[in-house]
Copies of this chain bind each other. A is one copy, B any other.
């Protein structure tokens, strides 16, 4: 029942070819005709059938994002801001945005296959990379364009946005030392995570430069959820002597750590310092507000989209790589006032 290109052609006594070309702005149609076509098409409420267009053009005009199965829930602030950025940028550019979340690894693989094999998407955004990552391997094999947040090991080139936190962590540790914190702990994620390796590496480097010793028992893994952070922090705080500053791999984990510290009756900001990573919006409203390394998640997502679309358009000489420098936001959670 929707109006097709044929209807428009019939109404104007033109061929569908001409209508199609007029709407696509080819220069082999008289500008007089073109105006007429555009006007009539709009008037009749013509909207091209996406499936037909996709089939013929062999393009989906759609970008996909699959929540990694390793993520416990899509509802984390991190993913939200990230997804918001992807969605906004994509819809602004006339692309559609397909989302799924994988619950198991088998599932995840199947989703990738379904989308790639079925031509559902022209490209994908991949995040939460592992040091060795089967997803990038698969996508390269299949020759499907993609862009990533952080990058895995290997010599393959692909567009990505990378965080360089070396300097920021140095600043952070200096701030901590200046405020009397000397016994630093780290609640990370799964060790195969690129983020885990990088952030821990930067912390170690900065600690070395500031002559701080990090007790190996103070480095533990959680699962990037607030519950995981809560439990990990409880463990850490039970050790004697206990750490006096807890650096978390992300804000979400830090929320749980805050909770655990409150529960222990510790005065956060003086007896114990807690630090996040990401600079999510909720980090401003915790009690006390959370010191964190802020990265522009929303903008990073937008950039990834632009990179990916550029690759799709073929305007790609070498793969883009964007470097992001986190910004240290000092708030009440590490500040003895």
Residues on A lying within 8 angstroms of B by beta carbon are 2, 45, 47-52, 54-55, 60, 67, 73-77, 79-81, 83-84, 87-88, 90-91, 96-103, 107, 111, 113-114, 117-120, 226, 230, 255-256, 258-259, 262, 280-282, 284-287, 289
| A84→B73 contact, CB < 8 A | yes
| A256→B285 contact, CB < 8 A | yes
| A113→B47 contact, CB < 8 A | yes
| A118→B48 contact, CB < 8 A | yes
Q: For A79, give its contact among B80, B98, B99, B287 (CB under 8 Å).
A: B80
Taken together as a complex, chains A and B put the C-alpha atoms of A252 and B289 apart, in Å, by: 16
Taken together as a complex, chains A and B put the C-alpha atoms of A79 and B74 apart, in Å, by: 10
| A49→B91 contact, CB < 8 A | no
A47-B114, A75-B81, A258-B287 known; 19 new pairs, CB 8 Å cut-off, are: A2-B117, A2-B119, A45-B117, A47-B113, A49-B55, A50-B118, A50-B119, A51-B119, A55-B55, A74-B87, A75-B84, A75-B280, A84-B101, A87-B100, A88-B103, A97-B98, A256-B285, A259-B289, A282-B282
- CB neighbours of A120 from chain B (8 A): 50, 96
| A226→B281 contact, CB < 8 A | yes
With A55-B52, A76-B80, A259-B285 known to touch, is A99 a contact of B97 (CB < 8 Å)? yes
Taken together as a complex, chains A and B put the C-alpha atoms of A73 and B87 apart, in Å, by: 11
Taken together as a complex, chains A and B put the C-alpha atoms of A241 and B329 apart, in Å, by: 36
Closest chain B CB from A254 CB (angstroms) = 10
Q: For A96, give its contact among B51, B74, B100 (CB under 8 Å).
A: B100
| A74→B84 contact, CB < 8 A | yes
Taken together as a complex, chains A and B put the C-alpha atoms of A306 and B184 apart, in Å, by: 49
* Nearest 6 interchain pairs by C-beta: A47-B117, A75-B80, A287-B287, A51-B54, A74-B84, A51-B55
- CB neighbours of A48 from chain B (8 A): 118
| A60→B51 contact, CB < 8 A | yes
Chain B: CB-nearest residue to A114: B47
Closest chain B CB from A203 CB (angstroms) = 24
| A262→B287 contact, CB < 8 A | yes
Closest chain B CB from A269 CB (angstroms) = 12
- CB neighbours of A60 from chain B (8 A): 51
Q: For A47, give its contact among B50, B87, B118, B289 (CB under 8 Å).
A: B118
Chain B: CB-nearest residue to A110: B91
- CB neighbours of A74 from chain B (8 A): 80, 83-84, 87
Closest chain B CB from A86 CB (angstroms) = 9
